[in-house]
Structure formats: structure tokens, C-alpha cells
Structure 1
């Protein structure tokens, strides 16, 4: 990322990938209840029965979930979420600098090379991590209140049932909207963070430390949520849908628009922002710290040997 100092200069690609994966997993553990609340709010409106539980706001959704289905329901799908971060975030974030250097061809990175790097790493990561996204969303959306038997009893049960009933392609269901979503998120999140960090450090407004990382990540979180929300809602609805419920991604989007209006595309915006902003802050702060500490440890080992 921009503004590297001597203490954290030139971390290796392996260090970046490991640091990104570990930091993303930590951020996911802390913010997962917000993500679950976001999913429940996004799918609300599909079930019109009078007995359906209604969720209102972030805290209201979390409280209702904890009361009606138990506190552990807030972490339903966490194993798949961690698998997603290890296969997804580690690549899209850990490879960003390396790919950016390839596109800039040794010259100073431009906005264009930053965007291309975000597009490339985000796209590759989606195809690799999509099965974990499908399982995570379905487990988060699953409620025992809507039937005597849950669709899935656990993470690996979900993988097996989806693969056997929907085919292997079922594990890559919703790849198109998820690709659109994550390309937007990856570009906006990483490029905004990189640019803001560069502005703060290069103009000596903030040093390359915790306050700079915190503010840059917060700004990146807001911009990312604003741009990605419509695609995120469509992705969640389509991924969670039963076979045949929607004929295509555009059909899903059109059904939302005609039945619930344009505001449906911003359902769950507040928990999305709270989750993404807090996730960004935790991830980027830990990512920067881990990179520095790992490089210091490596330098210490090199000196002793």
C-alpha cells in the first residue's frame, strides 16, 4: 500500500497473503453478527406470511435473532465465513500490491493501475471462494422458525447437499452478481484506502501508523458500502433462493424492484456499513501491523543467521 516506511518496506508476497488472510479472519470473527443481521434484512420481503419474524434496524435484528433463535445463531455460517476469508481475502488483498506493480511496470502506480489491480485480484478471488460464499449466506439466512427441518445441519452438510441436489454449479450460484459486487468492493475498498493513506502520509497530515490506517479504512468502508449495496442485496437474494425461484440475476433484480420498490436495493445498508467499516478498520490495522511484525521477525532471523 502507499506510504510504506523503512520499517515495513518490501514485505514479501507470502507475508502479504498470510497477513491479509489472518487479519480478515480476525475481522470476520468480530463483525460476523453484523453480517448475519445484514443478510436477514436483505432477504426480508421474500416471505410475506403473517407469522414471519420482522426485523427492524441493526440492533433490533440482532436482538430479535438472539431472542427467537438463540445467540449462537448470530454466528451461523462462521466456519464458511472463515474459509471464505482464507481463500478470498488473502488473495484479493494479499496480491493487490504485487499485481499493481505488474500493471505499473516499474513506474509510479497510477489510479488506472490501482483500479486494474483491484479488478484482477477481486475477480480471481471470487471464482476461487464462491462456494464458501454460497454456504455462508444460506446458513446465515436459514431459520428454524420457518419450518421444522433446517435446510442444512452444518457447514460441510451444506456443501454436500448443495453439490448433490443442485450439482457442482450450485456451489458457484450467484457468481455473476458476486463478481460484480466484489469487483466494486475490491476496487473501491483497496483503491480508496490506498489513495487516502497516500494523501495523509505524503502531505504529512498523519504518520503511517494507527490513526492514519483507522481513518483511511473508515472512509473506504463508507464509499464501498454506498457503491456495492444494490449488487450486494441482489447477490444475497439470488444465492439464498430456492431452485427455480428466480430464472436469472436480472429476473431477481426486477422482481425486487416491482414488488418492493427501489429502496429494496439498499435494505440492510446500516448494518452493511457498520459491518464493512468495522471490518475494514480491524482488517487494515491488523494487516499493516502483521506485515511489519513479520518483516521485523524475518530481519531478526536473517541477522542471527
Structure 2
């Protein structure tokens, strides 16, 4: 029987196969050259490279959800933007790494793609565009979107190629000395999540923040994501319930758009013994703010969503500090 290791990418022919490292599924795999040489494969050399590269990063956080469309990327952006307000006093450094190309998200944060600068010590991250008035030099992003010729280009990659890019981002980007690295991930429990877990767990991953909406369809998927985290030993910092209710900006009436028929994220977190960080209500002004490229958190500080998010931020920082003491 062909020997296929547990961490092999999808469609891997196996290390003992004559086609190892030579078929299309092997393209982009970090171990392609080792497999094709016929040498018995040992530990992935990328694990040590990632560990060394991220040694000077204090906290490394994954933003996860088994369900798509729950607001992971918007939440991740606000996480970094809100921390940006903190660092004006604390002088902390924050950076964000985005694995996937999300045009709508980039419309708000980056406005346009630019080429990645290559320096001697690796790929250099890009600062956010200075025309966004709340951005300072210590808040930057790295995205696959920066590698595309056009924002309309699709990324059509098999698992091994995506895994290779994740390794390249984590091990070759010149991150420098940072306090927070926040990683936005696709929905589900795919190759990307396995690769991220494999590399980051050996680089002192702080933990994951899991996002969901209140209705049962989302909670079913999120339970699987939580089970995934436990099986691969990813620490869980807490659960956030997004789009919890709609609060009318005029009359302040609260309406449940996604009814929590089974108790919502709070009950799920209690059942699974995970910290519940809080709920963020819907606010129609948020979508407009994203479209216009403005900072919702500072422009509308009296919004229930802004107040809820600030409280959740405090909980995440506290969870990070607690994990470091353990």
C-alpha cells in the first residue's frame, strides 16, 4: 500500500509512489522536491522556518468559523483598527495577515492592490494606504490580493499550492518584532486550516477567536470548527456572536434578524465550556462605512455595535494575556 502521511495534502499520491512529487497535485507542495528525489520524507522543514520567523511576535491569533458569511473579515479588520486606537497611547505594534482574497473587504481597508516589495530578508509587508486617516505606520497587511494583477482575478489553486503560499507567508514575510499577528481564515476545516495549525502550533499560537451568528445553521457549523480546534490542539480564546440583532439607528428598536431558537452562541459556549466574549448587533451604517472606506468605530462611537465591539476587544486582550501566563 502507498504510504500517505497524516499531514499530506489532498490527492497526494504518497511518498512511496513512483509519481511522488511529479503529478499535478504535487505542484506548489513545500515537500515536492523531497518526494520526487525518492528520499524518505522527514519533518516538514517549513515548521522550523515559521517558528524562527515568528519568534518575535508576541501574540498570534486565528479568526475562525465553520460558516461562511458570518463577518470574519470585517470583524478581523475592526479588531486591528480598534487596537490601532489603543497603540496611540501604548505604542504597541499590530499587523494583520489575510490568507484569502476578499474584494469587498479590500475595498474598505486597502482600496487598491499594490505589488509586494521584495527585500533581502524576505517579502516585505505593505503599510495600509495613508489616505485612510486612522492608519499609522504600525498597522499593516499581507494578502494574496497583493499578488494578483487585477482585483477581478480569480485564484484557482489546488490544496498543495495554497498550502505552499501559507507557508511562504508565514516563513518568508519580514514580520519584524510585533505584538499581535491576526490571521483571517476561510470558512470550514480545509487544507488551509490544517496547514495554519501545523505551522502555528509549533510557533506558540496564542489561540483562536471563533465567530458565529445566532441561528442554528451557523451554530451547527461552528460546533464542528470548535471540535476541529480541539482535535488539533488549538487553544480557544472565546466565541463572538455577530449580527446578533438589528438595532434601528433612529427609534432604537431591537429586532432579531437571525432568531436564536436554540439559545444562540451564549448557550453553545456554555455547553462546550468556552468563554463567551459577547454579541455584536447589526447596524446598517456599518455596511455604508465599509463601502465608503471610513472608520465606523470612530465615526459612530455611540452605535451599539461599536460599544459591543470595544467590550469584546477587552475580553480578547485579557484572554491573550492570561494564555501567556499559563
TM-score range, shorter chain: under 0.3
Q: TM-score, normalised to structure 2's length? A: 0.26
Q: Which structure: greater strand fraction?
A: 2
Between the two structures, name the one with larger relative contact order (CA 8 Å, sep ≥ 6): 1
The structure in which a higher percent of residues are helix is: 1
